[in-house]
Structure 1
């Protein structure tokens, strides 16, 4: 793992939040029980032409769980992974073609429970020091790969909430023509709040939970 030294100022704020204020805010999330399957996701932040971004995938429509949703690269743990960092890096490489040697892990965050699929998900925060071309490396699991600008995610005009059938509402983002909601949006929203880079936004803008693909392109139904 690396320290905040040598990181851009914006990334230092995110790194500091992940190792400080994040833990307090993440404590509001449900904690996994012993039956949950271990998994990890890679929260990979980088820059494109000096513009901060984060790597997200659109999960394939044929998957059994979370089909079509926007997500961080990641998945279930394997015996040879050696822990959450190994899982996150392996899954990211398998799904998007990212070269792990160009990735610097900053922090392993407390595991969060994804109740709908009973996964214990460990977010691994990383800095993309040496970016490479990304692609759909595993079409069976990934429909598309996106480097989403952080500026779009923090723009109040791109924020809203999604209402679930239970009545619960959670944060969502419209960025790069995509709708990001659910677990991924919740993690990003919590991290941006903790880092102090979120801007005030209209929480009265609420849409029903998408019933089709989870990552909705503009002009494609479900929102």
Structure 2
């Protein structure tokens, strides 16, 4: 399946149609400065899952455990690496992987998820992941929570109203030297790859509200240590290669 070949047309709520249309037309460079290499990279997938919670349309997020080797303590969409049994990484493999990993991490029932599209493959250099964001609608919701605390510290939902509120928007400077969007949702700070995808998707589907990008925030001291540890490991790998 090519970057812009979408899932078969499936019924979704009217409010999700702008997301599906954005997925049909958006280009990789419009979503991220980090594009996949021509060869190599560790194929993975994440589930960008839209539901309808008590505060209206929302997205499902996890917070990764702080003891993990990659992206420790960071917010994320549920997801992970493709396994051989997931099948073709350029076909339905990312969909299978995203649903499987979401079930393993949060306990959700994949049969209640309608996949309605995907975004172009993107790249996370620090972990060498080539990531396919898979778009889903949580048609039949089931209880969710961390299945294995050694992998997932928290599972939470953030409403689109919260995520698009300019009061919850800011820019964050990463130890890599890059500055990107961030979302302050309750006790959670969504940043990095996940915030970047959310920011651009909302922009291209027309949900973004004007916000002050000059407002700067920083990672907590503990999160900064984890980010620096991963950055340094990445630099050592790059120097060795």
TM-score greater than 0.5 by the shorter chain:
yes
Give CA-to-partner distance per residue, 1:127-184, whole Å, 9 cap, x none. Answer: 1100111011122210010011111000000000001234421000011331100000
Query: Aligned to 1:80, what secondary structure does the other structure show?
Result: helix
Give me the whole-angstrom Cα distance separating, in 2, the residues matched to 1:202 and 1:135.
33
Give me the whole-angstrom Cα distance separating, in 2, the residues matched to 1:120 and 1:166.
18
Instruction: Write out aligned runs for 1:64-79 (5 A).
Output: 64-79=69-84
Residues 97 and 31 from structure 1, CA distance in 2 versus in 1: closer, same or farther, beyond 3 angstroms? same
Query: Aligned to 1:189, what secondary structure does the other structure show?
Result: helix
Select the residue among 116, 124, 134 that pairs with 1:114. 124
**Is the contact between residue 58 and residue 68 of structure 1 (CA under 8 Å) also seen in structure 2?**
yes
Q: CA RMSD in A?
A: 1.8
Q: Does 1:21 align with 2:31?
A: no
Instruction: Write out aligned runs for 1:204-223 (5 A).
Output: 204-213=214-223
Q: Does 1:12 align with 2:22?
A: no
Give me the whole-angstrom Cα distance separating, in 1, the residues matched to 2:56 and 2:48.
16
Q: Does 1:38 align with 2:43?
A: yes
Give CA-to-partner distance per residue, 1:38-64, whole Å, 9 cap, x none. Answer: 100000001013611100000001100
Residues 66 and 166 from structure 1, CA distance in 2 versus in 1: closer, same or farther, beyond 3 angstroms? closer
Give me the whole-angstrom Cα distance separating, in 1, the residues matched to 2:27 and 2:52.
22
Shift of 1:19: 1.5
Give me the whole-angstrom Cα distance separating, in 1, the residues matched to 2:55 and 2:161.
12
Q: Does 1:202 align with 2:212?
A: yes
Q: Does 1:3 align with 2:15?
A: no
Shift of 1:202: 0.3
Q: Does 1:100 align with 2:110?
A: yes
Give CA-to-partner distance per residue, 1:179-214, whole Å, 9 cap, x none. Answer: 100000000001000001000000110123444238
Q: Does 1:153 align with 2:159?
A: no
**Is the contact between residue 22 and residue 190 of structure 1 (CA under 8 Å) also seen in structure 2?**
no
Give me the whole-angstrom Cα distance separating, in 1, the residues matched to 2:28 and 2:35.
13
Q: Which moved more, 1:159-168 or 1:186-195?
A: 159-168
* Larger helix percent: 2
Shift of 1:110: 1.3
Shift of 1:22: 5.4
TM-score, normalised to structure 1, is: 0.89
TM-score, normalised to structure 2, is: 0.83
Aligned residues: 213
Partner of residue 140, structure 1: 150
Query: Aligned to 1:148, what secondary structure does the other structure show?
Result: strand
> Which sections of structure 2, spanning at least 5 residues, go unmatched?
1-6, 88-92, 225-241
Q: Does 1:49 align with 2:54?
A: yes
> Which sections of structure 1, spanning at least 5 residues, go unmatched?
215-223
